[in-house]
Structure 1
Amino acid sequence: MYVTHNRAAIDEMGYAMSRMEIEPDHCDGGEVVHGVSDSQRSNKPLNDLDNEIAQLTKLKSGPHQMLSQIAPGRRGLPVSTVKMLAGRECNFSGRGRFSSADCCHVLSRYLPVNGPWLIDEMNSRAYVSQFSADGSLFVAGFQGSHIRIYDVDKGWKVQKNILAKSLRWTITDTSLSPDQRHLVYASMSPIVHIVNVGSAETESLANVTEIHDGLDFSSAGDEDRGYSFGIFSVKFSTDGREVVAGSSDDSIYVYDLEANKPSLQISAHSSDVNTVCFADESGHLIYSGSDDTYCKVWDRRCLNARDKPAGVLMGHLEGITFIDSRGDGRYFISNGKDQSIKLWDIRKMSSEATCNREDFRKYEWDYRWMDYPPPAKDVKHPRDLSVATYRGHSVLRTLIRCYFSPEYSTGQKYIYTGSHNSCVYIYDLVSGAQVATLKHHKSPVRDCSWHPYYPMLLSSSWDGDIVKWEFPGSGEAPTPVTKKRVRRRYIN
Structure 2
Amino acid sequence: MEKKKVAVPLVCHGHSRPVVDLFYSPVTPDGFFLISASKDSSPMLRNGESGDWIGTFQGHKGAVWSCCLDTNALRAASASADFSTKVWDALTGDELHSFEHKHIVRACAFSEDTHLLLTGGVEKILRIYDMNRPDAPPREVDKSPGSVRTVAWLHSDQTILSSCSDMGGVRLWDVRSGKIVQTLETKSSVTSAEVSQDGHYITTVDGSTVKFWDANHYGLVKSYDMPCTMESASLEPKYGNKFVAGGEDMWVHVFDFHTGNEIACNKGHHGPVHCVRFSPGGESYASGSEDGTIRIWQTPLSHDAASEALSANELVEKVMKISADEVSHKIESFRIADEGKSEEGKTEENEQAGE
How many residues are paired up?
A: 295
Partner of 1:28: 5
- Partners of 2:184 and 2:44 in 1: CA distance: 36
Partner deviation per Cα, 1:338-371 (whole Å, 9 max, x = no partner): 321112235665xxxxxxxxxxxxxxxxxxxxxx
- In structure 2, the CA distance between the partners of 1:211 and 1:249, relative to structure 1 (3 Å rule), is closer
- Partners of 2:73 and 2:216 in 1: CA distance: 33
Percent of paired sites with the same residue: 18
Partner of 1:426: 254
- Partners of 1:191 and 1:412 in 2: CA distance: 35
- In structure 2, the CA distance between the partners of 1:293 and 1:343, relative to structure 1 (3 Å rule), is same
Q: 1:125 aligns with which of 18, 24, 32?
A: 18
Partner of 1:389: 223
Q: 1:323 aligns with which of 193, 213, 221?
A: 193
Greater share of residues in helix: 1
Partner of 1:60: none
Q: 1:342 aligns with which of 205, 211, 214?
A: 211
1:273 is displaced (CA, Å) by: 1.5
Q: 1:452 aligns with which of 280, 289, 295?
A: 280
- Report the TM-score, using the length of structure 2 for normalisation: 0.75
More relative contact order, 1 or 2 (CA 8 Å, 6+ apart): 1
- In structure 2, the CA distance between the partners of 1:448 and 1:346, relative to structure 1 (3 Å rule), is closer
- Partners of 2:292 and 2:257 in 1: CA distance: 30
Counterpart residue identity of residue 451, structure 1: S
Matched, 1:310 2:310: no
- Partners of 2:256 and 2:282 in 1: CA distance: 18
Superposed CA RMSD: 2.6
- Partners of 2:285 and 2:163 in 1: CA distance: 25
Partner of 1:401: 232
Partner of 2:97: 213
- In structure 2, the CA distance between the partners of 1:26 and 1:233, relative to structure 1 (3 Å rule), is farther
Q: How does 1:142-153 map to 2 (within 5 A)?
A: 142-152=38-48
1:175 is displaced (CA, Å) by: 0.7
- Partners of 1:471 and 1:214 in 2: CA distance: 37
Which has more radius of gyration?
2
Counterpart residue identity of residue 179, structure 1: N
Tell me if the contact between 1:172 and 1:186 (Cα under 8 Å) persists in the aligned partners. Answer: yes
Matched, 1:254 2:254: no
Tell me if the contact between 1:279 and 1:328 (Cα under 8 Å) persists in the aligned partners. Answer: no
- In structure 2, the CA distance between the partners of 1:439 and 1:270, relative to structure 1 (3 Å rule), is same
Partner deviation per Cα, 1:3-36 (whole Å, 9 max, x = no partner): xxxxxxxxxxxxxxxxxxxxxx96512xxxxxxx
Partner of 1:195: 88
- Partners of 2:197 and 2:284 in 1: CA distance: 21
Tell me if the contact between 1:288 and 1:296 (Cα under 8 Å) persists in the aligned partners. Answer: yes
- In structure 2, the CA distance between the partners of 1:263 and 1:459, relative to structure 1 (3 Å rule), is same
Partner of 1:83: none
Q: 1:162 aligns with which of 46, 57, 61?
A: 57
Matched, 1:264 2:264: no
Matched, 1:466 2:294: yes
Counterpart residue identity of residue 88, structure 2: V
Partner deviation per Cα, 1:371-399 (whole Å, 9 max, x = no partner): xxxxxxxxxxxxxx633212225347xxx
1:241 is displaced (CA, Å) by: 0.5
- Partners of 2:77 and 2:15 in 1: CA distance: 21
- In structure 2, the CA distance between the partners of 1:238 and 1:27, relative to structure 1 (3 Å rule), is farther
Tell me if the contact between 1:285 and 1:329 (Cα under 8 Å) persists in the aligned partners. Answer: no
Q: Give 3-state SS (helix, strand or coil) of 1:406's partner.
A: coil
1:121 is displaced (CA, Å) by: 4.8
Q: Give 3-state SS (helix, strand or coil) of 1:259's partner.
A: coil
Q: Give 3-state SS (helix, strand or coil) of 1:172's partner.
A: strand
1:322 is displaced (CA, Å) by: 1.6
Q: Give 3-state SS (helix, strand or coil) of 2:8's partner.
A: strand
Partner of 1:174: 67
Partner of 1:435: 263
Partner of 1:234: 108
- In structure 2, the CA distance between the partners of 1:175 and 1:152, relative to structure 1 (3 Å rule), is closer
Q: Give 3-state SS (helix, strand or coil) of 1:294's partner.
A: strand
- Partners of 1:26 and 1:339 in 2: CA distance: 30
Partner of 2:318: none
Partner of 1:354: none
- In structure 2, the CA distance between the partners of 1:300 and 1:431, relative to structure 1 (3 Å rule), is same
- Partners of 1:139 and 1:472 in 2: CA distance: 23
- Partners of 2:199 and 2:16 in 1: CA distance: 40
Counterpart residue identity of residue 221, structure 2: V
Partner of 1:140: 36
Greater share of residues in strand: 2
Tell me if the contact between 2:48 and 2:279 (Cα under 8 Å) persists in the aligned partners. Answer: no
1:460 is displaced (CA, Å) by: 1.7
- In structure 2, the CA distance between the partners of 1:156 and 1:300, relative to structure 1 (3 Å rule), is closer
- In structure 2, the CA distance between the partners of 1:191 and 1:119, relative to structure 1 (3 Å rule), is closer
- Partners of 1:190 and 1:145 in 2: CA distance: 12
1:140 is displaced (CA, Å) by: 2.1
- In structure 2, the CA distance between the partners of 1:159 and 1:215, relative to structure 1 (3 Å rule), is same
Tell me if the contact between 2:116 and 2:131 (Cα under 8 Å) persists in the aligned partners. Answer: yes
Q: Give 3-state SS (helix, strand or coil) of 2:291's partner.
A: coil
- In structure 2, the CA distance between the partners of 1:140 and 1:323, relative to structure 1 (3 Å rule), is same
- Partners of 1:460 and 1:441 in 2: CA distance: 9
Q: Give 3-state SS (helix, strand or coil) of 2:263's partner.
A: strand
